[in-house]
Amino acid sequence: MKAAIVIPAFNEAAVISTVLKSIPKKISGFKRTLIIVVNDGSTDSTAKEVAKTRAILLNHTLNRGVGAATKTGLTYAIGQNADVVITFDADGQHQGSDIAKVIAPIRAKKGDLVIGSRLLKFQKMPLDRFFINWLANLTTFFLFGVFSTDSQSGLRAFSKKAATLINFKGERMDFSSEILLEAKKHNLKRVEVPTAAIYTKYSRAKGQKNINALPTLLRLIIKFMR
């Protein structure tokens, strides 16, 4: 069994080494774990920092967006015959220990797409992020008929079947909702598990900007109309 962890990164030189160190070297039930960092056109030393580690480095010449970087990583993981693919944010928002949580339903054959939800249990989340997250959740539900408590979570696990079938087109943050639509289209089993919400001054500055909520909403509406 082989697991692949896909980490889209844009100008994350300050924290990427720490994030990579937080990921377990061995994951129970898997003989091999690939860590794949997709450097999405960074203008800082992100690529150099990743090159110092055991991670596989893939580069975009230009910044194409988190959706495009995730797609590149998923495609590479599928090509490496990974049995499970995990997506993991590069800004320190996730705990490496939560990787086992999102993998567990797939190993138990209870899910094809597992979302690590920051809202399944009460924990501190900045109010602006809380409301934007719920707006995205409601928009995803009303447009696509799919409800998630954390539609924008960057921590997910895909079975080999899900990673192969899910074919999202969005290159920016709207890809998160599109993943849920694709899972519905292909009748994939979707599960949510509670995971930690880690917000630092750095991750707040690096994460999805509040001002980007409207463009993301508009892109989702355009997808619905098509």
Does position 174 have pLDDT exceeding 90, yes or no?
A: no
* Residue 201 to residue 115: CA distance in whole angstroms: 24
Question: Is 3.90.550.10 the CATH classification of the domain at 2-225?
Answer: yes
Determine the 3-state secondary structure of 139 from DSSP.
Answer: helix
Helix, strand, coil percentages (3-state) for the chain, rounded to 5, are: 40, 20, 40
Mean pLDDT value of segment 157-176: 93
Mean pLDDT value of segment 44-73: 97
Instruction: Compare 120 and 85 and report the one with higher pLDDT.
Output: 85
Show me where the domains of the chain are located.
2-225
* Residue 169 near residue 138, CB atoms below 8 Å: no
Please report, as a single letter, which amino acid is at residue 72: T
- What's the whole-model pTM score? 0.88
Of 69, 17, 72, 71, the residue nearest 48 (C-alpha): 17
Does position 172 have pLDDT exceeding 90, yes or no?
A: no
Determine the 3-state secondary structure of 96 from DSSP.
Answer: helix
Count CB-CB contacts under 10 A for residue 210.
Answer: 12
Per-residue pLDDT of 184-217, as tens digits, reads: 999 999 999 999 988 777 776 765 554 555 565 6
